[in-house]
Structure 1
Amino acid sequence: MRLPKISFQSKIIINLGLTFIVCLAFFLMLYWGVSTFPFFVLFFLVSAFTNFPKSLVSPLSFFYLYYISFYVVAPLFAERYQLVVFEPCYSLAFILLYVVFSLGQNSILMGEKYGMSRVSTPSTYDANVGWLIAPLFFLSTLMCVLIVINSGGFDYWIDSPGQAFLNRGGTGHFVILSHFFSIAMSALVGFYVYKSKRYWVYIIFLIWFFVTSPVHGSKMQLSLLILLSIIPWLRNTRVLTLRSISVLLILVLLFFLGLYFRNNSWLTFDKLIPYALNYFTALENLAISLRDFEPMFMHTFLLPFNKFLTPFGLSDSSLYYDMNHYLTDIYFPENWEVRATEQWPVETDLYLNFYFVFGLPLVCFYLFFVGYIYGRAKIVDTLGYWMIAFLMTIFLISHLRGSLYNHVDFYMYPYMFIVWFSFRRYSFKLGSPGPKIIHASEGLAK
């Protein structure tokens, strides 16, 4: 006997109803002194499997990856969380996490569905981008060299890349430009190699990537460049395939590579995995913020605008660019002295600025928009749409593991608009370079 198929609208309503019931049960457990952690893990796994993502690189996949890494795997296996996860402040933390997770999951699903329902698609053409790659290689390399020269020199970066990365103050304008040029270069290299089959270009890109990786430093930036360079092959990759497993292994390798570059002065390979598990501090930071602060309104929300007071670097330690700066200075002043920040999750941001509950519509709108962009990319299937879909999907983690918005958004969103506008008609349809017009709707029909 075949079960009746549940419509998308009914599925969302059921999900929201279950969210309300589960949250009510969580609050009762908190009142009775029962830990919510085991039940958070249970309901997370149930929600994830009943709404399992189809594609590897999608907002929903990265959303799940973030929550399972920080709030399931880390508290289960990291030494720092043994026993403490059963304390009352952690039980409250898991309630807040489940609310954002459940509402966020449904927001992404609705955004993607709406994006794919838009039938109008722009005309596209088969573009030759090879002439852009060499200038972008040069400019990206030049920015990396200028960062090194203006933050200690080559000897300092070779001897202590981790310290050099943390003490590159005054090079912010070079860092921003290096991001702009390297992001565009990575995506165009992948697009060009996919269309032309000239794989030697990608080999040169990989050599450049490994040579300049200490300068990029950030684990997210390293992952971003690699993922953008394989958009053509990754955009339709399904979850749980050999290709997807290979990509996940590469991302794990880049994660460990980033940790090593930042801590190579003391970190040995036998300590790498225990240190990596203890790297996931967002849960602990959320719990201590719930313990030490009352819910507030607009306490840290406007801090990113301080960036306009010091556009070329943070020299005044009394100024903070976001919530993480502010809280790091309170709880980890020794880290703040070298401008190394700890990360508080978006739940803390909502708690300190909107009494938590009043900020939920903002989170839902943001995640709906990310899902919408991804849905449009799947339908239109051009380089511009896929670039911003990948960028917003990857930046999703930085917003979940930080403020709802940060000062980086002030230049990254205009940049993403320019990228989308410039490459929105560059079709992935294979063929010889040229200005021939191909309508996306025709490609979809095929």
Structure 2
Amino acid sequence: MFRRQLVKLNQRLERRLPEQRLFLRSDNTTRFVRLRPFTQLMGIGAVATFFAWGVLATSILLMDSIGSGTLREQAQREQATYEQRLNQMAQERDRHAQSAETAQVRFGEAMGRISDMQLELLASEQRRLELEAGIDTVQQTVARVVRERDAARTQLAEARRTLEAETGTARTAADRGRDVQDMLDYLLVAMDGVGADLHEQSLNAEQTSNQAQMLAMENELLKDRNHVIFTQLEEALDSVMGPLERVFQSANVSPDQIRRLVRQGAQSQTASLRPISVSTSGAMAASPDISRANRVLGKLADVQAYREGLDRLPIARPVSASVRQTSGFGMRRHPLTGRSKMHNGLDWAASRGTSILSAADGIVTTAERQRGYGNIVVIKHEFGLETYYAHLNSINVREGQRVSRGQKIGGMGTTGASTGVHLHYEVRVNGRPVNPITYIRAGQNVF
């Protein structure tokens, strides 16, 4: 039945694909191979399928290459945009810091003027009290003199009567009366002078009070303007600190630890970020604006510490070329033994000799050949972090050498327990392996 169907199919294909014969000649004999129409159709289909598969594979490789280039350009644009944003925020921070410093200077001058006016007001009040005490004394003296005058007049009248009765004259009593009258005239003139002086001091005190009220109004306006400036500064700092803290949290590093370790390692604090200290005198309390400015300066110092901390974390990719990830972090079947085993890092495959780069600044602690890892480089970073680069084809650093982020440390290879050319990359925190993709994703938010 099958042969009958095959014969019918050959007869139908005979018009398009006539039977061909392939002759094979040797020294003494000549043989031929008969190519029926169905056989020719199978050959043509096989050739067409192979050609289509080649075109499809080439298209996939070409699209993969174009996509990798586009992602790399996008990453570079995002990095340039982020650096531009950081520079703008730094310029805005410096501008606001300068505005805050200028406002603080003006606030200090106003406080000094208010202090001087208060001292003048206190002195005027003291003089007024002294004048009031002097007037009371003068009034008491005048009252006493009036009483003495009345008593003297009484005595004078009695003496006059006695003197007239005895001598018939009153000249001595008249002389004493004129002396008393001269004294009273002098006291009245002195009282008029004291009253004029007291009136002048009262006017000065009222003028000083008006100036103090004007300064108080200027102080309130200055406080309102400082509040607006501080609010803008605080909002800008929160918009910068939030993403930075999320980067550290995604990398399993405490922001508090970053701030503490960076400040411990700093030689000296930037002069513009030091807390403001203004000495006050008397009963004047410390200004709340100074405390708020110190909080803003503290946040600026935190931002600076975060940026320095980012420079010390291994958040850069160790391979900048186009690579293919072959294994992730976690349990997997070992390619050599076939057993399920924990894989402590990431594997990337590329061509032999592909440049391997340091993920962050650090010191090379190992640069040798080890069993299993092959040629390996271990770099020690800040905060108890270490990065491992294994199966290298070549090593370009030595133990004890200090390297920078992005510096070439070797070439990709297949040394040690390896089934192909690739890089085995590990990140360890205090000797414990962690997933490197966490740090790489955190770096994508920065670079």
Q: Could you tell me the TM-score, scaled by structure 1's length?
A: 0.23
More helix by share: 1
Higher relative contact order (CA 8 A, sep 6+): 1
More strand by share: 2
Q: Could you tell me the TM-score, scaled by structure 2's length?
A: 0.23
Give the number of the structure whose alpha-carbon radius of gyration is greater: 2
